[in-house]
Amino acid sequence: MSTQGAEYVRDQRYLTTRITADGRDGFPVEPGRYRLVVSRACPWANRSVIVRRLLGLEPVLSMGICGPTHDERSWTFDLDPGGRDPVLGIERLQEAFLARDPDYPLGITVPAIVDVPTGQVVTNDFAQITLDLSTEWREHHRAGAPDLYPEGLREEIDEINAGVFADVNNGVYQAGFARSQGAYERAYRRLFARLDALSERLGTRRYLVGDTITEADIRLFTTLVRFDAVYHGHFKCNRTKLTEMPVLWAYARDLYQTPGFGDTIDFAQIKEHYYVVHRDVNPTGIVPLGPDTSGWTTAHHREELGGRPFGEGTPPGPVAPGEAVA
């Protein structure tokens, strides 16, 4: 993260090597070869956790889970026995980045996919990772896996994603890390203008694009699910809570109650990450007890709009052993 003047600017320089079916970047799709490293706290990593689960890739792509907090050096595996990832054998994700490049100068971010035999990070390009899981890993999708990035809808999905990223996914950070009143107010207004537009769009349709869940819904959901717990107070995005935006609140509950979404969410870890790590925003490190999350399981009535969550496919099965949220 960085600021240029008063504006928050996200460093989007990532390792863009891709894991593909034809291995054109030197890393072919191979069951068991790679490990997806995530944190349940991180919205960008949460996308890949959801996509992996919806597509049923657990048997071919293992997952390491970092703890919710980190220092300036790296995310750590403090949730694992001995504080060490059982597959990669490392204590810090930083070790996998330095194995790829001993002079690696950029951010140590999740999600990251690590080549297990070499211990080197292949990619941390979060936006491309989920698209590649949908397209390049297709041979290993479970029977009944949904098409999250259907070819005929990609242009519309990409357009929606661009606006959601600029004003919502990244917009909450631009508000929260602003270094001037003007920068904050500009981000705040863009955020709520986009949320209002999305609310209008979703007032007559169950999902953002087409009549099934797509990549676009996943990208919006991971911000909405953190909104009241973190962004409303911690990042000063406080015009209205999610629970006070009827359409988006019902839409978010619909997704939360869909297998593969809510079962990836750990509100305690989400709050611990933001309120403990961001000491420039929250110097005391005190983690709030609220909000009450029981409303996430209440009726949403979005099924009345039609739509088929998984299209011609089926819901994912039970959460893989060892991956259930406490």
> By the 8 A CB rule, do 144 and 314 touch?
yes
In the annotation, is 237 catalytic?
no
Mean pLDDT of 102-124: 97
What residue spans define the domains of the chain?
A: 2-140, 156-305
What confidence score (pLDDT) does residue 5 get? 64
Catalytic option among 34, 173, 231, 256 = 173
pLDDT at position 31 is 98
Specify the pLDDT at position 73.
86
Instruction: Enumerate the β-bridge partners of residue 62.
Output: 35
Q: Of 8, 42, 231, 256, which residue is the catalytic one? A: 42
d(CA 279, CA 276): 6
Strands 34-39 and 7-9: unpaired
Residue 4 has pLDDT above 70, yes or no: no
Which residue ranges make up the annotated binding site for glutathione? 75
Calpha distance 245→233 (Å, rounded):
16
SS (HEC) of 82-140: HHCCCCCCCCECHHHHHHHCCCCCCCCCCCEEEECCCCEEEECCHHHHHHHHHHCCHHH
Residues of each annotated binding site? 75
**Among residues of the chain, what percentage have pLDDT more than 90?**
94
As a whole number, mean pLDDT of residues 113-118 equals 98
Model pLDDT for residues 228-274, shown as the tens digit of each residue: 999 999 999 999 999 999 999 999 999 999 999 999 999 999 999 99
Q: Quick one: average pLDDT of 37-63?
A: 98
pLDDT above 80 (res 190) = yes
CATH topology agreement for domains 2-140 and 156-305: no
Please indicate whether residue 42 is annotated as part of the active site: yes
The whole-angstrom separation of Cα 46 and Cα 3 is 24
Per-chain mean pLDDT for the chain: 96
Superfamily of domain 2-140, CATH level 4: Glutaredoxin (3.40.30.10)
- Classify domain 156-305 by CATH architecture: Up-down Bundle (1.20)
Which residues lie across from 20 on neighbouring strands? 28
| Residue 11 confidence class, pLDDT cut points 50, 70, 90 | confident
Determine what percent of the chain is predicted with pLDDT higher than 70: 98
**Tokens at 190, concatenated:** 């863009």
Q: In sequence order, what are the residues at sequence separation of 6 or more whose Cβ sits closer than 8 angstroms to the Cβ of residue 89?
A: 119
Stretch 127-146: mean pLDDT: 98
Rg (C-alpha) for the chain, rounded Å, is 19
pLDDT, position 2:
47
Q: Angle CA(174)–CA(271)–CA(105) in degrees, nearest 5?
A: 55
